Amino acid sequence: MHQFLKARQDVLTQIAQACQTAHRNSDDVQLLAVSKTHPSTALEEMYRCGQRAFGENYLQEALQKIADLKSLEIEWHFIGHVQRNKTKLLAENFAWVHGVDRLIIAQRLSTQRPQDMSPLNICIQVNIDAQESKDGCQPNEVMQLVEDMSQLPNIHLRGLMVIPAPNNRQAFKDAQQLFDKVKENYPTLKTWDTLSMGMSGDLLDAVQAGSTMVRVGTALFGQRDYH
Ligand SMILES: *Cc1c(COP(=O)(O)O)cnc(C)c1O
């Protein structure tokens, strides 16, 4: 069997097994293929294996791939940290932006989203385990951000995104509780359905804790070469 096809099936099987253990429906967890540093040809191969959602971290690299692969029906997710001066290109080129941690960023994305495109899906990135050098808002800032971001016309506020330190299962549980708390406080926020957490090394724990979208790179494409 082709290498990518096998890798993808292995990951989907892991997700399905984790769902079964957690008594969850495997349709409730989406696989985002993290393709940073891999060439457009690798994404195209993975697309031929059935993958549609791809996540990229670096804007210039992503824009090149989006141009290369514009004939394919790829759903592009930006999962890197969002800087203020990048919002326009993100709003114009992506379906999802996961790393939003300040209101000003969401406001700019909403204003800059082209009117002929559907609303931009965003996740609030939370520094769930109080890491010092990490991006993301503080957990106690989330409610106010939801309050403010949910008013913006051209974005759909979908949920939370976290990147805890390795082997921190409690952080996944904390993220899940925060996610549920927002859902309880904002029952009319119908778009609130996404908990973006889990990577190649910890996707089982993440799914058990309630992740609805795992972001997987290495287990699909192999090791990354940053040179
Ligand atoms: C690179 C990256 C991933 C994928 O990590 P792997 O360990 O290769 O699966 C997931 N999320 C974010 C935010 C990343 O930057």
CA of 118 to the centre of ligand 1 (A): 26
Atom of ligand 1 nearest to the CA of 161: 13
Tokens matching residue 78: 């930006």
Q: Is residue 227 part of a domain?
A: no
pLDDT at 1: 58
Q: What is the domain-level CATH number for residue 73?
A: 3.20.20.10
Q: Which of 34-38, 89-93, 95-99, 163-167 has the lowest mean pLDDT?
A: 163-167
Q: Give residue 35's region: left, alpha or beta (phi > 0; psi -120 to 50).
A: alpha
Q: Which pLDDT score is estimated for 167?
A: 86
Q: Is the CB of 20 under 6 A from ligand 1?
A: no
Of the ranges 151-160, 161-170, 190-199, which one carries the lowest mean pLDDT score?
Answer: 161-170
Domain boundaries, position 32: 2-221
pLDDT tens by residue, 94-142 = 999 999 999 999 999 999 999 999 999 999 999 999 998 778 999 999 9
Claim: this prediction has a pTM higher than 0.95: yes
Q: Is residue 128 part of a domain?
A: yes
- Please tell me if the CB atom of residue 62 comes closer than 6 angstroms to any atom of ligand 1: no
Q: Would the CB of 199 count as within 6 Å of ligand 1?
A: yes
Ligand 1 pocket, 200 CB below 6 A? yes
C-beta of 198 in contact with ligand 1 (< 6 A): no
Q: What is the pLDDT of residue 22?
A: 95
> How many distinct structural domains can be found in the chain?
1
What digits encode the pLDDT tens for the residues 31-87?
A: 999 999 999 999 999 999 999 999 999 999 999 999 999 999 999 999 999 999 999
